Amino acid sequence: MSASPDPAHLIGLRFPDGEYTITEEENARLRDIVDGPELPPGVAHPVFCHLATHVGKGVTFAALAELVGSSNDAGFLFGGGSFSFGQRLEVGRRYVVRGGITAAESRIGARTGRFDVISTSLDLVDPETGDVVATSVEHYICPRGEVSA
């Protein structure tokens, strides 16, 4: 595999602003899928911090992989991250989704060879107050091939 460019050029790339409203039906559907507990009326499951930003940012997983020069076949994967909440997510409330790529660095693993870690940060924002209600930071792993001898 040829050498990949320094991924630092990706830092600062913003996704198009989007929006997402967690519906009662979606909240119930997620509860069924993960066999989860019932939450108080109007409260959305906190994992919607990922789902709402993932869908609302308008860039699919495959498109994100392509954007950073990777692909599903190349082993592009979601490696970790964090959710932080200023308040609980609510069913039926519209959130603006905004964010982009905030970090990108190359690493070398003994078993994995060279890979890049691309980090995105996406906020769910109350459109009326402008307050950030929740933030999803996600780290994606992009294998870049073997290390040259």
Partner 1 sequence: MRRPVAGEEIPPYVMSEITTDRVRALMELMRDTNPVHDDPELIARRGLRGPVNQGPANLAYMLDMLFAWAGPELEIERFDFRFHEIVVPGDTVTARGTVRSAAENDDLTRAECDVRLEHADGSIAVSGTAVVRIPAR
- Give dist(CA 22, CA 47) in Å, integer: 11
Of 8, 72, 107, 108, the residue at the interface with partner 1 (CB under 8 A) is 72
The site for partner 1, by CB under 8 A, has a size of 36
Q: Say whether residue 34 binds partner 1 (CB under 8 A).
A: yes
Q: Whole-angstrom Cα distance, residue 101 to residue 122?
A: 9
Binding partner 1 (rule: CB under 8 A), the pick from 81, 100, 113, 145 is 81
* Helices assigned H by DSSP within 1-149: 24-34, 48-56, 61-67
Q: Give the whole-angstrom CA distance, residue 112 versus residue 145.
A: 8
Query: Per-residue contact track with partner 1, 84 to 103, x per CB under 8 A?
Result: xx--x---------------
Q: What six digits make up the tokens of 120?
A: 């995105």
Tell me whether residue 48 is exposed, middle or buried, using C-beta atoms within 10 angstroms of its C-beta: 0 to 12, 13 to 18, 19 or more.
Answer: buried
Q: Which of 5, 12, 16, 80 binds partner 1 (CB under 8 A)?
A: 80
* Nearest residue to 68 via CA among 11, 134, 126: 11
Q: Select the span of 6-14, 36-44, 97-105, 125-133 touching partner 1 (CB under 8 A).
A: 36-44
What does the per-residue mask of binding to partner 1 show for 39-68, with x meaning CB under 8 A? xx--x-xxx--xx--xx----xxx------
* Site residues, partner 1 (CB under 8 A): 26, 29-30, 32-40, 43, 45-47, 50-51, 54-55, 60-62, 72-73, 75, 77-85, 88
